[in-house]
Amino acid sequence: MNSRRIIALFIVLLCLIYSNGYGDSSNKYKYRDDEFHKQEEDEILKNKEKIGNRYWVIKNDEIRFYDFPDVLAKQFYVTSTESFVVQDWVPSKYSSTSIYVSYYKIAFDSGKTAYIEAYKLDEKDYIKTEDPKIIDEKRRQEIDKIFKEIGIYKGQSLWLKYPKSELPGLTKIKIKDYKFKDDKYLPSIKCYAEGGDRDVEIDFFYDDQPKYVISQIRETFYIKDPSPIVSKWGKRVLTAIKKGKVFIGMNKEQVRLSWGLPQEINKSGGKWGLHEQWIYGDFGPYLYFENNKLTSWQD
């Protein structure tokens, strides 16, 4: 087949392609335009779904409200928890759809109207979809349930299983109250108590998993007075615990009462029994146990 025939066939093929619309660039761009407009419409509908919804904003210095739908407008922050209703969605003069440059017109219960950047309504740490008082009451009931399951109540005496809040292990404390502490990065249950002739606060990490909170509390306190058991340990052990000291021959519970929980525990077993290495801090000291007895340590 000569070159002229090849060129002729190629031209015929191109004609067939264009006659069927495959080579029509206008169709391609029309499809893209239609797709873009569909996305625009979906975005607008999504933005407007929040109109009529009620929200609560808690006191913070993150959420700004504006007198007009413009970041250059006069702005203010709430000084206490306030409720508002979304009245309208206002597209930005810079973009007709983008939620990141659009606003919601809102009306506070006081009657004052303002504008908030649309994407800020998703700031769950400061913007709530339920009355914070109701949220707090639900948490209070859940915390009460947790402490009830463990068998702890206000006014009860407990004993520390390891040093805590600058108090040595075995210190007797009295529970005064416990509350949820809503922290953006580390929510916790704060336990208020009296111990060592002063007020103390003990925090327990809270992650909406009651079992984990319960394990933390049980790991921290003796619910029953441990005196009948620890009194048999002898004066030397009890003095070491009070002073935060350890010595060869102490068992693991005694060491924990004196030094607290190790950062890491490595275990191994053999004919000699169970061997454990307790590591305090990133670089020691290292404590070594053989069958529950401290046999050596390394600074």
Percent residues over pLDDT 70 in the chain? 86
- Residues 274/295, Cβ–Cβ less than 8 Å: no
Domain boundary pick from 76, 102, 128: 128
Average pLDDT over residues 218-239: 95
Task: Identify the weakest region by mean pLDDT among 31-45, 67-81, 150-164.
Answer: 31-45
Percent residues over pLDDT 90 in the chain? 60
Please indicate, yes or no, if residue 22 is contained in any of the structural domains: no
- DSSP helix/strand/coil, 40: helix
Please indicate, yes or no, if residue 5 is contained in any of the structural domains: no
Please indicate, yes or no, if residue 254 is contained in any of the structural domains: yes
The percent of the chain in helix, strand and coil, each rounded to the nearest 5, is 35, 30, 35
Task: Identify the weakest region by mean pLDDT among 91-95, 145-149, 200-204, 226-230.
Answer: 91-95
Number of domains in the chain: 3
Residues 179 and 242 occupy one common structural domain? no
Residues 103 and 137 occupy one common structural domain? no
Residues 121 and 141 occupy one common structural domain? no
Average pLDDT over residues 216-236: 95
Please indicate, yes or no, if residue 10 is contained in any of the structural domains: no
- Residues 67/31, Cβ–Cβ less than 8 Å: no
Please indicate, yes or no, if residue 187 is contained in any of the structural domains: yes
Average pLDDT over residues 222-239: 95
pLDDT of residue 35: 77
pLDDT of residue 38: 79
Residues 106 and 121 occupy one common structural domain? yes
pLDDT of residue 40: 76
Mean pLDDT of all residues in the chain? 86
pLDDT at 98 over 60: no
Residues 203 and 249 occupy one common structural domain? no
- Residues 115/66, Cβ–Cβ less than 8 Å: yes
Average pLDDT over residues 95-123: 85
pLDDT at 270 over 80: no
pLDDT of residue 17: 53
**pLDDT class for 43, splitting at 50, 70, 90?**
confident
pLDDT at 20 over 60: no
The domain in which residue 103 lies consists of 47-128
Q: Retrieve residue 158's tokens.
A: 């407990």
Residues 147 and 95 occupy one common structural domain? no
pLDDT of residue 187: 85
Please indicate, yes or no, if residue 79 is contained in any of the structural domains: yes
Domain boundary pick from 101, 128, 155: 128
Q: What is the CATH number of the domain that holds 74?
A: 2.30.30
> What does the pLDDT look like over 193-211, one tens digit per residue?
999 889 999 999 987 778 8
Gap between the Cα atoms of 76 and 69, Å rounded = 13
Average pLDDT over residues 251-275: 91
pTM of the model: 0.69
> What does the pLDDT look like over 117-161, one tens digit per residue?
998 998 888 999 999 999 889 988 999 999 999 999 999 999 999
Instruction: Please tell me what DSSP assigns to residue 299.
Output: -
Closest CA to 112 of 69, 82, 72: 82
Q: Retrieve residue 238's tokens.
A: 């009890």
Residues 251 and 175 occupy one common structural domain? no
Beta-sheet pairing, 221-222 with 157-160: antiparallel
pLDDT at 167 over 90: yes
Please indicate, yes or no, if residue 97 is contained in any of the structural domains: yes
Please indicate, yes or no, if residue 3 is contained in any of the structural domains: no
Domain boundary pick from 194, 225, 256: 225
